[in-house]
Amino acid sequence: MHPLSLFGSTNLVLLFHTVPSSHWFRNTLRTIKHLYRFISAEDIESYYYTSKNFNNCCHICFDDGTRSVYEHAFPVLQEMNIPATLFVSPKVISEESNYWFQELKYIRNHLSDNVVKEMICETLNCKYEYIKKYRVLSLFKCMKLKDILQVIAAIKEKYGITIDKKYNLTKDQLLELNNSNLITIGAHTMNHPILHNETEDDAEKEIRESIQKLSNMLNKDINYFSYPNGIVGLDYGVREQSVLQKNKNKLAFSTNNDFFNKKINPLNIPRSGFSGLKIENTAYIFGKLFMIPMWNTILDIRVLGKTERRERKEIKNLSIFNKYP
């Protein structure tokens, strides 16, 4: 019997972003394999749209498409013959550009957060007193994409910052992954906006164009999608799910920690994140797997209520970026 069988379904999707090393990734997958059988995205599609059933299964996926997926994860997946799904922005891949949050991280490594907040106020005409207590990333996740890009461009111009580093896969690398018959490619919008912040037309365009352009790039249908940031009710909702239905999308994935079962909408499949978990300790990895059903509660307690969700809701309720001197 599976140790977590009291929760009913123990089917799981695990999400990675940056993979620190092949050694770490191999150790993580070997640990997971003690509890789960690995499955593909196509298996999950069959689970929802046919009579196929399974339990104690795990699907591996990646968001964004950093080069570490190609350099560190892909060789291990080949070695262990484990299928996975990679969600990318076709614009970022084709232009060999960076996502806005990658550029923001680079900026924050060179400038203080107070400087970044001052530039937010200067660019968007809001008062510093309204935003000073909030974390920078929470503030950016409450902005429209056009405002995010405007603030980043203003910071780079004022402080003479040039970001030459390329963090993400090349088109050739993406094609190699796609042709491996092991990696399924899914869409992740064009520019990685927080869809809920955007107008209905802009959100629809981000989803539709990412599916169409990725389909053209790979010469195949794109049936799977991952919501940027991915918190249901905060980053996306029914509006985005309707767009995916119109585009004949089969599966879409969130970042809500939970198991999946047939009662869950296939356009709202939860995933448990392993991003940033660089501890090469089997006991720690087992612990994280066992805590998945309670992970959000544990995080709330650990950070004494200062969760990103609560902070962003407060920022939105205050309508900070609509306030002017």
pLDDT digits (tens, 9 = 90+) for 212-239: 999 999 999 999 999 999 999 999 999 9
- pLDDT band at 304, cuts 50/70/90? very low
The answer to whether 38 touches 46, Cβ cutoff 8 Å, is no
Return the exposure string of 286-304: e unless at least 16 CB atoms fall within 10 Å of the residue's CB, then b. Answer: eebbeebeebeeeeeeeee
Cα separations (Å) of 249 from 92, 203, 266? 21, 15, 10
* pTM for this model (two decimals): 0.92
The partner residues of 11 in beta bridges, in order of sequence, read 260
Helix, strand, coil % over all residues of the chain, rounded to 5: 50, 10, 40
Phi and psi of 13, rounded to 5°? Answer: -115, 125
> What SS3 class is residue 268?
coil
Q: Give the percent of the chain with pLDDT over 90.
A: 76
200 versus 6: the higher-pLDDT residue is: 200
Exposed, middle or buried by CB within 10 Å (0-12, 13-18, 19+), for 190? Answer: buried
Radius of gyration of the chain measured on its C-alpha atoms: 20
Instruction: Read off the pLDDT of residues 145-195 as tens digits, 9 standing for 90 and up.
Output: 999 999 999 999 999 999 999 999 999 999 999 999 999 999 999 999 999
pLDDT at 305 over 60: no
Residue length of the chain: 325
Distance of CA 163 to the CA centre of its chain: 22
* C-alpha to C-alpha distance for 25 and 69, rounded to whole angstroms: 10
Percent of the chain with pLDDT over 70: 88
CATH 3.20.20.370 domain span(s) along the chain = 8-97+167-290
SS3 232: strand
Q: What are the tokens at 208? A: 């539709």
Nearest CA-CA partner of 89 in 275, 228, 278, 262: 228
Write down the pLDDT at residue 325: 39
**Which residues, in sequence order, are CB contacts of 15 under 8 Å at separation 6+?**
61, 62, 63, 253, 255, 271, 272, 273, 274, 275
Q: What is the mean pLDDT of residues 59-76?
A: 97
DSSP states of 121-146? HHHHT--HHHHTTS-HHHHHTTS-HH
Q: How far apart are CA 43 and CA 179, in angstroms?
A: 19
pLDDT in tens, 31-47: 999 999 999 999 999 99
Structure-token match 């997971």, residue found = 32
- pLDDT tens digits for range 89-126: 999 999 999 999 999 999 999 999 999 999 999 999 88
Q: What DSSP designation does 229 have? A: S
**Residue with more model confidence, 66 or 318:** 66
pLDDT of residue 319: 76
* Cβ pair 82, 59 in contact under 8 A: no
The arrangement of secondary structure in 8-97+167-290, i.e. its CATH architecture, is Alpha-Beta Barrel (3.20)
Q: What is the pLDDT of residue 295?
A: 55
Residue 303 has pLDDT above 50, yes or no: no
As a whole number of angstroms, the distance between CA 260 and CA 253 comes to 11
